[in-house]
């Protein structure tokens, strides 16, 4: 995760956030135009991530991070609220760095099995009393909305499955989404920057706004995508699937998910 130190006076932090930034160095670690993320480095045992975005846009992330934290899978949510028309979310920093750190990227033969085993463990986690159970319904609605409004990223499908038109890809998604299951706890965006390791020991997940109860192939798809994107090779696809459990992975479902993600 990249962090660029900034002058704290460059940002108008509301009063509720002040306790988390006082006497701290402030860094901008944003990676998305939809949200700003700041890192408040107070001391080794008192550091925080502060995220702000449009009102109500962080409520799911706050709820699911709290849920994952209760299962020792994510940082603690210290504050969530809407102030001045914007959401503010403060989480404690957990030990370690994300999987794009040079330490981990330099050893993919060790990293890939670890990511596969960690995902399998997540998918075997009890998801009783979860915040909501409509993740797959919303997933389908997002795909329908994206297609109707011409929002697509065709490369999410064509990189692996060859050239196709938007209409052809949408038909694959539409014909396939009735096969989606809702039987595992998903991260929803299982990519290297969202998995934190502390010297190769799992520390926690971050960016859980896409979490929910859904089909394991959503997470498996994004795991395979991030390995190709971040490692610049598709050579680790088979290793990941084998270590995760090849008997649980349906290649046709991966193709369906790829088609859906084009419009997601």
Binding residues: 194, 207
DSSP β-bridge partners for residue 92: 48
For the question of residue 235 being annotated catalytic, the response is no
Q: Which residues are annotated as a binding site for Mg(2+)?
A: 194, 207
**CA-based nearest residue to 48, from 88, 7, 102:** 88
Between the two ends of the chain, the Cα-to-Cα distance in Å is 24
How many C-beta atoms lie closer than 10 Å to residue 25's C-beta? Answer: 14
CA-to-CA dists, residue 156 to 166, 258, 264, angstroms: 12, 6, 10
- Rounded CA-CA distance 118/21 in Å is 33
Total residues found in the chain within this entry: 264
Strands in 77-83's sheet, in edge-to-edge order, are: 4-6, 25-28, 35-43, 46-54, 86-92, 77-83
Which helix (DSSP H) or strand (DSSP E) does residue 202 occupy? strand 201-205
* Set 189, 209, 215, 219: catalytic member: 189
232 sits in the region (left: phi over 0; alpha: psi -120 to 50; else beta) called left
* Residues involved in catalysis: 189
């Amino acid at each position: 995760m990249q962090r660029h130190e900034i002058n704290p006076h460059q940002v108008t932090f509301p009063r509720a956030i002040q306790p988390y930034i006082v006497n701290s160095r402030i860094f901008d670690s944003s990676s998305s135009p939809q949200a700003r993320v700041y890192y408040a480095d107070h001391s080794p045992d008192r550091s925080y991530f502060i995220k702000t975005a449009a009102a109500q846009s962080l409520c799911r992330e706050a709820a699911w991070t709290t849920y994952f934290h209760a299962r020792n899978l994510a940082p603690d949510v210290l504050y969530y609220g809407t102030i001045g028309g914007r959401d503010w979310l403060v989480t404690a920093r957990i030990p370690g760095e994300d999987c794009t750190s040079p330490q981990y990227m330099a050893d993919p033969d060790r990293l890939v099995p670890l990511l596969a085993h960690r995902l399998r463990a997540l998918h075997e986690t009890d998801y009783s009393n979860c915040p909501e159970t409509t993740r797959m319904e919303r997933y389908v609605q997002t795909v329908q909305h994206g297609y109707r409004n011409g929002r697509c990223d065709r490369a999410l499908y064509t990189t692996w499955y060859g050239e196709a038109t938007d209409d052809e890809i949408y038909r694959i998604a539409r014909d396939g989404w009735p096969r989606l299951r809702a039987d595992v706890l998903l991260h929803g965006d299982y990519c290297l920057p969202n998995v934190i390791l502390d010297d190769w020991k799992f520390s926690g997940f971050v960016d859980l706004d896409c979490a929910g109860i859904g089909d394991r192939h959503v997470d498996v798809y994004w795991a395979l995508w991030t390995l190709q994107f971040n490692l610049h090779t598709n050579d680790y696809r088979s290793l990941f699937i084998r270590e995760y459990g090849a008997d649980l992975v349906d290649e046709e479902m991966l193709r369906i998910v790829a088609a859906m993600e084009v419009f997601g």
